[in-house]
Amino acid sequence: MQRVVEYGGYVNLVLFTVLGLVALRQWRLGRGRAGLWAALTFGTLALVIDVAPLLDETPDRPVETFLQRALIAALVLFPYLLYRFTTSFQPPTRRLERLLGLMTVTLLVWTFVLPAVPAEGEPRSTGFLVYLVAFLFHWIALSVVVAMRLWRGARAAPSVARRRLQVLAAAATAITASLVLAAVAPDQDSGTALASTLLATLSAVGFLVGLAPPPVLRLAWRRPENQRLQAAIASLMGAASEEQVAEQVAEPMARIVGARGVALLDPAGRVIGAHGASEELLERSGEDAETIVELPTAFGKLVVWTSPYAPYFGGEELRLLQTLGALTGLALDRARLYAQEREARLALERADELKSNFISLAAHELRTPVASINGVIQTLYLRGDRLDEDQRVLLREMLSDQGRRLGTLVEQLLDLSRLDAEAISIDPEVLPVRERVEELVRSTAGERADDVRVEVTDDLEAAVDPSAFDRILSNLVANALRYGEPPVIVRAEQRDRHFRLAVEDRGAGVPAEFVPDLFERFTRSERAQERGLGTGLGLAIARSYANAHSGELVYEPASPTGARFELVIPTGNGHDEVQAHRLRSYRRPF
């Protein structure tokens, strides 16, 4: 049995030496603070295992005694260094830190002031037995703390990291049990010594597997993550929008690395999608910087709120995440292209529908005045000599009205075509607003000018394009008189870096269901269609002129009744405010 123990000692010497070299290599490869503590921990243990056989068990000279005590001190340090390795992932409480540090310092000092260390087979003094008990208590206490911290850290870790942490916890327990058995073993030929050697071997293998598991074992442990990765990749094929892509991959991404939250951000920092990442977690991201991993991707970056053990033990899982991130980037590009193609297709369909509606409605609107004009002309040509003067006057008035209507319609159609082609030139001029409004009211309202009340200060001036201003205001006043009830009120003011012109009436207002289509071309409410009023182009033209002026024309119900249209034109750098006003005006009431 003694020979088996000796052979086991040689095997352990090789294993712990390899373990020290592996830890040193991982630190050199850039494993950070945790890698440094691992290199110190297992390098110290390898030093003890390698140097111990070279020292005399009964040192005679002071140098030999010092080396012996230094070797024992290194053995005292091992569990503390292993504990420090675990604290590099998650800091302990200050009380625990002080307690374990004080225990370690006390035992180190005790090691160097110890009168003598008996060799194997020599009697042990009471003082040495007390020291041995303290030594074992120190090892056991630190090993229990280490094993608990590693085991708890494994709960939220992905498969490979979880297995590695659990193996390291078991190895820490095994090496402590080996040390306890070695301390109580009567000699090298006992079963206790053999059990101690075997436990040391198991612990060395466990530490090696925990620090650097072989590829075959990693592959077996990673099978659940690979299945999730394959499922996520397959789900990307059917995603047709950015939201669907994010919804398909965010949860598998979180599970691959055992993260509590994952967020996909575009280059501007906008959240494309997230899983488990609440707004509170996003706001507190700076406070939990040690548990956040940011991975650059083709679509921007992937932010992972993960376990503090993941960067060290889950490096390959993070690389899997980057692979999935690259595929997600391709899927997002495909979704964006699909969305753009769909929007372009819908725009073309809408344009084609508008064109068809425009042609049919234009033809319908033109047919009525053309037919009327043709009928009057034919009547005058064929039966003019049989008509009395009153009849001829009536026909001439009809001809004039229909000609005027036809001219207005043609002018509106030309306006729309020029506005669509962006061929309208906007040249602002400073105009006296009240004078201009009164002039337009007189020309537009005619005999009903008294139904219009102008509430504009005499000194108000505005920089507007005269032609655009005239077209907009005349349309609004004509509509208010045609569809509303008097009084029609025109107000204007300069406010918030904008020129604002409002026209409101006291009629029934615009039906709520018609408001979304109010500014569409050739659209008229049922009431207007029943009364045969208008062409459905006036408001569309007015808004187009407002937009060409970098402004907006919006509608809201008047108080207490009626319709209120407001022209908003920026006087300076007011584009953002116009946009905000535009969005508010589009919001439908609940």
DSSP readout, 301-329?
Answer: EEEEE--TTHHHH-HHHHHHHHHHHHHHH
Q: How far apart are CA 242 and CA 28, in angstroms?
A: 41
Q: How far apart are CA 304 and CA 291, in angstroms?
A: 8
Cβ neighbours of 128 (radius 10 Å): 17
Which homologous superfamily is 429-586 in? Histidine kinase-like ATPase, C-terminal domain (3.30.565.10)
pLDDT tens for residues 362-386? Answer: 676 677 678 888 888 888 878 877 8
Q: What share of the chain is helix, strand, coil (3-state, %, to 5)?
A: 65, 10, 20
For residue 198, is it left (φ>0), alpha (ψ between -120 and 50) or beta? alpha
Q: 179 Cβ partners below 8 Å, 6+ apart? A: 136, 139, 196
Q: Number of H helices and number of E strands within the chain? A: 19, 11
Q: How far apart are CA 464 and CA 474, in angstroms?
A: 15
Residue 530, judged by CB atoms within 10 A of its CB (0-12, 13-18, 19+), counts as exposed
Q: How far apart are CA 357 and CA 332, in angstroms?
A: 36
Q: How far apart are CA 47 and CA 71, in angstroms?
A: 8
- In this prediction, residue 134 carries a pLDDT of 93
Please provide the CATH number assigned to the domain covering 223-344.
3.30.450.40
At 314, the amino acid letter reads: G
Tokens of 120: 């194997």
Q: How far apart are CA 95 and CA 105, in angstroms?
A: 15
Nearest residue to 537 via CA among 410, 446, 422, 442 = 410
DSSP state of 123: P
Q: Kindly list the domain boundaries of the chain, sorted by start residue.
A: 2-221, 223-344, 345-420, 429-586
Looking up tokens 């090892």 gives 139
DSSP 525-582: -HHHHHHT---S-HHHHHHHHHHHTT-EEEEEE-SSSSEEEEEEEESSS-HHHHHHHH
Tokens of 387: 């008509």
- Strand order across the 563-570 sheet: 452-455, 488-495, 498-504, 563-570, 552-557
Q: 407 Cβ partners below 8 Å, 6+ apart? A: none
Q: How far apart are CA 309 and CA 320, in angstroms?
A: 16
Q: How far apart are CA 122 and CA 201, in angstroms?
A: 27
Q: How far apart are CA 107 and CA 97, in angstroms?
A: 16
Gap between the terminal Cα atoms of the chain: 88
Nearest residue to 274 via CA among 289, 253, 290, 295 = 253
Q: SS3 of 244, please?
A: helix
Q: Are 76 and 104 contacting, i.e. CB atoms less than 8 angstroms apart?
A: yes
Burial annotation 262-295 (CB, 10 A radius, 16+ → b, else e): bbbbeeeeeebbbbebeeebeeebeeeeebbbeb
218 φ, ψ to 5°?
-60, -45
- In this prediction, residue 590 carries a pLDDT of 31
Looking at domain 345-420, its CATH architecture is: Orthogonal Bundle (1.10)
Q: Kindly give the parts of the chain with pLDDT less than 70.
A: 1-2, 57, 186-188, 277-291, 354, 357-358, 361-362, 364-365, 368, 412, 416, 418-423, 522, 527-535, 572-590
DSSP state of 157: S
Burial annotation 167-177 (CB, 10 A radius, 16+ → b, else e): bbbbbbbbbbb
